[in-house]
């Protein structure tokens, strides 16, 4: 079995569990999912490879010890910015559309 085959299989099972019925299946080493774009259902094909050499990313956690992480900066406590009439109208419209 090729390197990463079992890892890809395990990962796709996790994806399929997470999206439920939106997982379609596998064809020609591509995994197919349903998603929505602009209110229309579209199918997304995902292909996976196992890199020969792992790629390092900044901020991915890596071998960091989060127990010794520095304290976060204090939250911004400044007063909120006043909105003009157009911004208030847009906010009210969005709140109504989103049922918030």
Asked if residue 64 is part of any domain, the answer here is no
The number of folded domains in the chain is 1
Task: Report the relative pairing of strands 40-46 and 23-27 from DSSP bridges.
Answer: unpaired
Q: Which pLDDT score, from 0 to 100, does residue 65 have?
A: 59
Q: How is residue 36 written in tokens?
A: 């929505």
Instruction: Determine the Cα–Cα distance for residues 13 and 4; give it in Å rounded to an integer.
Output: 14
Asked if residue 97 is part of any domain, the answer here is no
Asked if residue 15 is part of any domain, the answer here is yes
Q: Which pLDDT score, from 0 to 100, does residue 56 have?
A: 76
Asked if residue 82 is part of any domain, the answer here is no
Q: Are 58 and 11 in contact (CB under 8 A)?
A: no
Asked if residue 80 is part of any domain, the answer here is no
Q: What separation, in Å, do the N-terminal and C-terminal C-alpha atoms of the chain show?
A: 51
Asked if residue 39 is part of any domain, the answer here is yes
Closest CA to 3 of 44, 43, 54: 54
- The residue segments making up the domain with residue 4 are 1-51
pLDDT tens readout for residues 63-98: 655 566 666 677 666 767 788 888 889 889 988 888
Asked if residue 71 is part of any domain, the answer here is no
Closest CA to 92 of 79, 84, 38, 37: 84
Number of Cβ within a 10 Å radius of residue 19: 13
pTM (whole model) above 0.95: no
Residue 38 pLDDT > 80, yes or no?
A: yes
Asked if residue 7 is part of any domain, the answer here is yes
């Amino acid at each position: 079995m090729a390197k990463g085959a079992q890892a890809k299989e395990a990962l796709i099972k996790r994806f399929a569990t997470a999206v439920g019925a939106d997982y379609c299946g596998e064809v020609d080493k591509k995994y197919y999912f349903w998603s929505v774009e602009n209110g229309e259902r579209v199918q997304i094909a995902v292909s996976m490879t196992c890199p020969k050499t792992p790629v390092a990313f900044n901020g991915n956690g890596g071998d960091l010890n989060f127990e010794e992480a520095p304290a976060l900066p204090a939250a911004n406590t400044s007063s909120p910015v006043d909105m003009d009439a157009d911004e208030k109208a847009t906010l009210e419209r969005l709140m109504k559309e989103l049922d918030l």
